[in-house]
Amino acid sequence: MLKNKVVYIHSEELISHCNKLPQLPNRASIVQDLINSYELLTHDNLVVVQCEKATEEQLKSFHSTDYIDFLKSLNCDDVELFEIVEKHEEYGLGYDCPLVENIYDFVQTVAGSSVAAARLLAAKKCEIVINWFGGWHHAQRASAEGFCYVNDIVIAIQILSKAFDRILYLDLDIHHGNGVENAFQCSKKILTLSFHKCSPGFYPGTGSLNEVGLGKGKYYSINVPLKEGVSDETYLAAFNAIFPIVLDSFKPSLIVVQCGADGLNGDPIGQCNLTIKSLGRCVDTVLKSQLPALFLGGGGYNFANTARLWTYLTALIIGKDIDPDVPDRSEYFSIYGPTFELQIEKGQRRDCNDEKYLSNVVGAIGDYCGFISKHMSSKFPRIVNSKLTKPP
């Protein structure tokens, strides 16, 4: 039933839990409504799979026992019953990750969605899975961070690593995927590749070019730090130069892609120039690798544009052409004004990513990939020259 189909992870409980986050109120419903309005879930090439809650054991496969036990102790309908104390801050429950009702149920449900995706892929029941309500890449082993209370990505990758020899984690969110990188920075089996904005004061303040992993995992953490105002042209130039050499040197057997929408023009936090077309080109390149893949959500604080992106990517992944005009049957039709179109305009911020800067970044990463090739096998050629070319 699932073979040769794209699997879409969904449950009403998952939507409900994601809706209640103070930073993302009702975003999940807005995303799901637009996908439903385009009738993508009824496409012949897609199968919807319901997810269940992650078990305590699955949560603790990455997160510390103390952290998970603490979340369990806070699991109730009325968060006002709890006073904010020092211990809350110790576990990252404060300004950017405030207490939410039934917090333990929330992390179980979110993690469970990516666990379901990973188990299907690990069992070779399908080759492509979409879970737009996963992708919480900042959460650390013993604390919440950056709007992320649980790192479903790390938990999913750990499941996948039992079935796949080498996993490439590709992070397209405009924020550095620090939680995932930290989890695997000593591993040669998981390579993390993050394209993100890196500028003074921009969260999380990590992900520089010289952060390359530790110990046996040295050079298996690859960061592409982008300056202010990144545009479609420079983003794609960097991606088209770097992704192929990483693919060729590491030779992954599966790709996990975090498709954060906060780099899009109009995002109040990301404040960049990207459109959904550039991120779509990146996803299309991943699909053309013909490797099994898990596509996840992530950041996105302009909810209309986040819905646009993940709807567009869903259609791209299942191979369906969709109308450029947003269907007027959408419950949230008014938020897509004034254009009421799926595409968005590119931003006009000055792009500080000049060719010299990007060439230096690409050259350094080419050298890192040369070391990976050498470590992986003597039969893999070392990459000597990496060229930066503008997309056609």
Q: Is residue 38, in this structure, part of any structural domain at all?
A: yes
pLDDT-based confidence at 184, cuts 50/70/90? very high
Q: Residue 83: its pLDDT value, please? A: 58
Q: Is residue 242 part of a domain?
A: yes
Told to judge if 175 belongs to the known catalytic residues of this protein, a careful annotator would answer no
8 A C-beta contact, residue 276 and residue 265: no
Categorize the per-residue pLDDT at 379 as very low, low, confident or very high, splitting at 50, 70 and 90.
Answer: very low
**C-alpha angle with apex 219: 214 to 225, nearest 5 degrees?**
100
Query: Residue 158: pLDDT band by 50, 70, 90 thresholds?
Result: very high
Q: Which of 138, 175, 176, 196 is catalytic?
A: 138
Residue 385 located in a structural domain = no
Contacts of 7 (CB under 8 A, 6+ apart): 46, 47, 48, 49, 117, 120, 126, 128, 129, 130
With cut-offs at 50, 70 and 90, classify the pLDDT of residue 95.
confident
| Mean pLDDT on 219-244 | 98
User: Going edge to edge, which strands form the sheet with 190-197?
Assistant: 46-50, 6-10, 128-131, 293-296, 254-258, 167-171, 190-197, 221-226
The answer to whether residue 391 is domain-embedded is no
* pLDDT band (50, 70, 90) for residue 350: very high
Give phi and psi for 232, each to the nearest 5: -55, -45
Query: Rounded mean pLDDT of the chain?
Result: 93
**Cβ(32)–Cβ(15) below 8 Å:** yes
In a domain, residue 12? The reply is yes
Burial classification of residue 163, based on how many CB atoms lie within 10 Å of its CB (0-12 exposed, 13-18 middle, 19 or more buried): middle
Q: Note down the domain range covering 208.
A: 6-376
SS in 3 state form for 65-112?
Answer: HHHHHHHHHCCCCCHHHCCCCHHHHHCCCCCCCCCCCCHHHHHHHHHH
User: Which positions ≥6 away from 389 have C-beta within 8 Å?
Assistant: 237, 240, 241
Flag whether 367 is in a domain: yes
Q: Is the pLDDT of residue 389 over 80?
A: no
Residue 388, in any domain of the structure: no
- State the DSSP code for 60: T
For the ranges 58-67, 125-134, 175-184, 371-380, the lowest mean pLDDT is seen at 371-380
Q: What is the CATH number of the domain that holds 98?
A: 3.40.800.20
Alpha-helical regions (H) of the chain? 12-19, 27-37, 56-59, 65-73, 86-90, 103-122, 152-160, 178-184, 232-250, 276-288, 303-318, 355-376
Contacts of 364 (CB under 8 A, 6+ apart): 209
Half-sphere exposure of 200 (CA within 13 A, CB side): 0
Predicted local confidence at residue 89, as pLDDT:
83
Give the span between the Cα atoms of 305 and 282, in whole angstroms. Answer: 17
Is residue 381 pLDDT above 60, yes or no? no
* Residue 386: inside a domain: no
User: Tokens 């390579």 map to which residue?
Assistant: 191
46-60, 69-83, 285-299, 334-348: range with lowest mean pLDDT: 69-83
Q: Is the pLDDT of residue 81 over 70?
A: no
Terminal CA-CA length for the chain: 39
Please provide residue 222's backbone torsions phi and psi, each rounded to the nearest 5 degrees.
-120, 125
Looking at residue 305, its amino acid is: N
- Report the number of distinct structural domains present in the chain: 1
Out of 31-45, 67-81, 246-260, 333-347, least confident range: 67-81
Is the confidence at residue 343, as pLDDT, over 80? yes
Model pLDDT, residue 378: 45
> What confidence category does residue 276 fall into, taking pLDDT thresholds of 50, 70 and 90?
very high
pLDDT at 280 over 70: yes
Q: What would the mean pLDDT of 206-227 be, rounded to a whole number?
A: 97
pLDDT value for 385: 43
Looking at residue 116, the DSSP 8-state letter turns out to be H
